[in-house]
Structure 1
Amino acid sequence: MKVILKRRKIKNDTQESLYLEFYKGYKRLPNGKLKHFREFETLNLILHSTPKTPAQKQENKDNLELAEKIRIKHVNEFNSGKHGFRNDDKLKFNFLEYFKKLTEDRFNSKNNYGNWDSVYKHLQTYCSPNTKFSDIDEDFVRGFKNYLQNTALTKSNIGLAQNTQSSYFNKFRASLNQAQKDKILLDNPITAVKSIKAENPPREYLTFDEVKRLSKTECKYPVLKRAFIFSCLTGLRWSDIQKMTWSEVRDSEGELRLIFQQKKTHDIEYLDISQQARDLMGNRRESNERVFEGLRYSVTYNSALLRWCHATGIYKHITFHCARHTNAVLLLEMGADIYTVSKRLGHRELKTTEIYAKIVDKKMKEAANIIPDLNI
C-alpha cells in the first residue's frame, strides 16, 4: 500500500485542500481492464495557491509539514499492521524462529520454559523449518491439533496424555495470539479451532496403612524405597528428590529443613521436614553429592515400584508421583489446613490443591457407611 499526499483546488482556485490517497493495488477484470483500489482521507488543511504575504507562506509551510507527519504516521501504522492493512513483509517471518524466541523468553523469566521447549520440538517435527506465517491458516492449526492427538510421542514412544495435548496446544495458541498482538497476523486462524479439553483424571494415592505396610516390605532397590517413602512424607516431586544435594539440607541446631529450587517452577522453596523423613536420607556426605545417590528414572525402576506394591498386597496403579498425592491426602485427612498443604506442595494456585480436598471429602462420605449394619 502507498500513502500519497495530494491536493485539490477550492475557492476559485485561490486555495488548495490537502488530502491523503491510500492506494491498495489493483486487479485485472475479465475484460482485461484494471480496477484500482483507493481510499481517501481529508486532512482539513488548506494551502494558498499563490501565497502573497509572509504569513501565507508560513501557513503553507506549517500545513505541509503537518500533512507530511500525518502521512508518515499512516505509513508506520501500515508497517505495524494497524487498521487491517496487511503488511506482507511480516507474513514472511519464519514461524519456528518466532516460536523459539518466545520459548527463550520463558527461559529468561523462568516461566514454564520446559513445556514451551517441548512444543517447539514437536513443531519442528510437524512442519517445515521454512514455515512462514503466510503458511499458517486454519488447516495448519487443525493439522497440528491432530498431530498432538494422534501422532506425537513421548520419549518413551507412547502417545501424549490428554492433559499434555491440551497444555501443548494452548502454548501453540498463545504463540499465535502473541503474533497477532505483534501485528504479524491480522486474521488469527486459531480462533476458528477449539482447544483440546483437559481432563481431571482420578489421582491415585495410598492410605496411611498402605504406606506403613510398604515401609515394612523389602524393595529390590533400597534407594527407590527410601525416596518413595520420603516423597510420601514430604510431598516432593521425583524431579526435586532425584536432583537433591546435601547443600540443600539444613539439619543442624534443631533445624530440619530443605531449601531448594523447584525444577518445575524454578521457585525457591523452604520446606520443613520430620525426623523420620530426615532418617530416610541417611548420613550426610559432601555438599555437592546427591542425597538419594543412584536414584534414576527407568522402566526397570518403575516396574520394581509396582512389584514392591504387589508384594505388599497393593494392586493400585502406583507411580512415583502417587507419593506426592499421598502426602497431600494424608495431610488433609490428619487436619492440616488447605493453605498450609498448598504452600508445602509448592502450588502457585490454591485450586490445584483443592483437588485433594475433594478426595478427602469423598473419604468422609465413605466413612459414613463403614460401620456394619446393626440389623436394628
Structure 2
Amino acid sequence: MGRISRLYPKGRLRLRIPKMVQSGKKYPLYIEYNWHADSIRKSTGISVSVKEWNEKGYCGIGEIRATTDIDYKYYNHALHKRIEDIDVKIHKYYEMHQHITCDVIRSFLEDNDNALRPDEGKDFIEFAKELMEKRYEKGKIGFSTCKNGISYLNQFEEYLLLEHKGTHGEHKEFIYVSDISEDLLLDFRKYRLLAKKKATTVNKTLCPILQACEYACQLGYISHQLNASLQDLYMKEEDRLDEEERNIKYLTEERLAELVSVYNTIEQPRRKEFLEMWLFAFHACGMRMVDVMTLRWKDIDFNKNFISKIQVKTRNRNTIPLSEPLIRILEKWKGRNKVFVFDLLPENFDINDHEAIYRRRNSWNNTINTSLRCISHDLKWNQDLTFHVSRHTWAVLALAHGAEISEISRLLGHASTGVTERVYAEFLPDNLATVVSKLAFCFIPDMNAKQKKVVSR
C-alpha cells in the first residue's frame, strides 16, 4: 500500500541553513507549508543557531531548545500558536471548497483571510460596477442606464467615505460584498432624503445597489433572507395615472359570468390560456399584466395561502390572499416553467432588467389583447376585452360590494388611497350612498311636535 495522500498540508517550523554551517551563527526561522511539490514560507523574524534548534521537537513541528539565550518558552508558544491558527484556516477553507491551493496558503501566511469570506474579499462597489458593465456588454441594458448606474454607485461610495460606514480601509471607506446590510442601506436612503431627493430619485440610486445584492445572493455571498429584506427597501412612489387608468373600462357581473361560460367553447388552446391569465389577474385583486408576467413560483406561499410580490411598476411589495379560484388556476399551470408561473418568460430571465421586462410586457400585451378582443368580438360585445379591464373590473365590483377604499387601494398596490380615489372617483358616490344607507342613523327629534312648556318649580 502506498502513502495516503493528504487533503491539505500541515505547517511546520524550518531553520533555513546553508550547506556549509558555521558554528555559533544564527540562521532565520521560517514557517513552512509543503504542497503539490511547492514550498510556501514566511519568515518568523527569529534567528537561532543549529545547536539551539530541535527539528523533531513538538511532534515534528520543531521547537527552540532550552539551551538558547532567548525566552524559548514564550517564542515556542507564540510560533506554535501561529501555525495552529493557520492550520485551522486551511482546514476551514478545505471544508468550504473541498480543495486548497498554494496561493490560498500564501494568503493565510500573509494574514489575508479574504479567502475564508463568502465573497472571497470582493469589494461591493467594484462588484456592482463590474455587474453593470457585464450587463451592458451582453446588451441587457443601454449605455445611458449603465452610465447612470455607475454614477449612482459613485454616490454610494462617496457616502461610505464621508460617513465612515465601510467595514475596511484606512478610513472605513470600503465594504465587502457580504458585509452589506439592511441598516446600512436604510441609513443611505435617509442620507439621500436629507439631501431633499424625491422617492423616485432615491429609488434610482438604490437600483444598481439592489441589483448587485440580488446577484450576490445568487452567488451565495449573502443570504436569501437578507436579500429579500433588501429588495423591500425601494420607497413608495406616487402613482402616475396613465391612459389605462384614466379611461376606466370594466365588465359588469353579467358580462363577467358570460365570459366565464364561454371558456369551454374556445377552441384555440393559447386563447384559452390567455383567458386563464385574465381571470387570474381579476381574482388576484386586479394584478397588473407586468406582474402576472413576472410572477414566480417562489412568490407564492401555498402553506400560508398568500402571494407576496414586489410590483414592477411601483417596486413596492404587495401581499394578496390566495383564494380558491387562484389555487385552481395555479394548479393547472404547475410543471410548465420552473421559475415563472405563466411561462411568459424563460427560466433564466433577469428579473432585475426593467428595460427588458417592459419590452417583453409590451410584446405580450399586444399578443394577449389581440386574442382577448377576439373573445369579446365573438360574444358580440360593444367593448373590447383587454388585459387591463380585469384590474378595473375587480376594483369597480369591489366598490359596488361595499369594500372600503383603503382595502381596495392596498390590494391594488396603489401608493396611497388618494391614487385609488382619483382613478375610481366616478364610482365612489354610489358606494358612499350605500354605506350611509346601511348605517341608517336616525338620531333626530320629532320636528313637527308642539313645543312643550317647561313647568317652573
Q: TM-score, normalised by structure 2?
A: 0.36
Larger radius of gyration: 2
Larger strand proportion of the pair: 1
